[in-house]
Structure 1
Amino acid sequence: MRVTKKIKEEQIRILGEVYKDTKPALIFRNPFELLIAVILSAQCTDKRVNVTTARLFQKAATPEAILSLGLAALEEEIRDCGLFRNKAKNIMATCQILCEQYGGEVPADFAKLQELPGVGRKTANVVMSVGFNAPAIAVDTHVFRVSNRLKLAAGDTPLAVEQGLMKAIPKDKWSAAHHWLIWHGRNICKARKPLCGKCPLADVCPTAIDFQPSP
C-alpha cells in the first residue's frame, strides 16, 4: 500500500475519532509536577509513576520542598521507579536551577527546558504540550512505533519521526495526536503482538497485513 496524503488524512481522522476523549495517563496538578513525573517515567510505567508521585508530592511538591527533602530521602521516595539514583540526581539539579534561575517556576520555553538535567527533547515536548498547551509532538516508543507502522511519519530516529508528524498532522492537532498515537500503541498496535484484527486503522495501514495470522 502506498501511503498517500489522502490516506494519512484518513489515518488521522480515525485516530481522532477513536481516541478523542483520551487524556494523559500521568497524574499532575501543575507544570512542575508534570515535569517531575515525565522525568520519572523513563523506563517505567505511568501507573508506577503515578503511585510514586502521589506519595512524593504529599511530602514535597515544589522545587524548594524537594531540595529540602535532600538527595538520600528523594532516592528512597522514587526507588521503585527504576534508575532512581540517576533520576534523583537529575531532579535535584533541575530543582536547584528552577529555584536559582526561574523563581521556582518551570519555564514555558522549549530550549530552556532542554537545558534542565534529565530533560531531553521528548520530555520538553510533553511539558510544552501538556503543561503549557503549546503545539508540540513528543515521540516516545509508542509514537515512534505506530508512526512507522502506519507510515504516517517514517523515520529511523525520534527526531525524524517528530518532523514527519509535524508535516503530516495539522498544527492545531499536534498535541492531541500525540496522545492518540500513544493510546493506540498501548491498546492495539503493541510492540510484539499488534492486534491488527481489532484495529480500526487496518484498512489504511500498510503493515497490517504483515501481522495477520495465517489462515
Structure 2
Amino acid sequence: MSRSFEEALINRRSYYAIKNETPISDLEIEHIVHTAVKHVPSAFNSQSARLVLLLGDNHRKLWGIVKDTLKKMLSSEAYAQSEAKIDGCFSCGYGTVLFFEDDSVVKGLQDAFPAYATNFPVWSMHTSAMHQLAVWTMLEDAGLGASLQHYNPIIDEEVAATWHLPASWKLVAQMPFGSPAGEPGPKEFQTLETRVKVFK
C-alpha cells in the first residue's frame, strides 16, 4: 500500500481475527523484519534488538509451546478459555515475530557507562518497543493484521531451547500475524487535552 507515515500509524490496529494467509511473499515479510532491525534507533546506537521470524510449522510450534506451558499452570476451565483464544486468534495466523533484547549488550553498556547503569535496561525496553511498533505498522501497511502478546517469561526457556537461541536473548513480546479475517474492534481515545500540553 502507498500510505504516508501518519496514515500508516492511524491504520495500525490489533487484529485478533486472522487467518493462515498473506497478501505478500515470505521474502517481503523478511524484508519488513530486516528493515526494522537495521533502521529503528536504539540508545547509544546499541542495536540490542533481536528478532526471530517464525513461519509455517515453526509458527505453529510456538503456540503449541504456549498451550503446553499454560496447561501445566491453569485449571481445566481456565485452560480451555486460553486454548480457544490461542487457536482462534494467534496460532491460526500465518506467522509470528518474536522480539528479544540482548542482555549481553545491555550489560556491556552498563559496564562501559556506569553513571547510566540503571537506565540501560529501561532504554533497552524503549528500543524493543520501537521495533515492535515499526514491524506492526509495516505489517499492517502490507495488508496483514497483527497483535502484540506477552507469554514471556513462562515460555522463555522452551523457546530458547527449541530454536537454539543465545542465553543472553531476553524474550520481550510475541506478534502473531496473518491476513485479516475480520475487522478490529472499536477503539476508544482519551481526550488529547488530558494527554498533551503545549506551551508557546
Question: What TM-score do the two structures reach when normalised by structure 2?
Answer: 0.26
Structure with the bigger percentage of helix? 1
Question: What TM-score do the two structures reach when normalised by structure 1?
Answer: 0.25
Considering Cα pairs closer than 8 Å and 6+ residues apart, tell me whether 1 or 2 has the greater RCO. Answer: 2
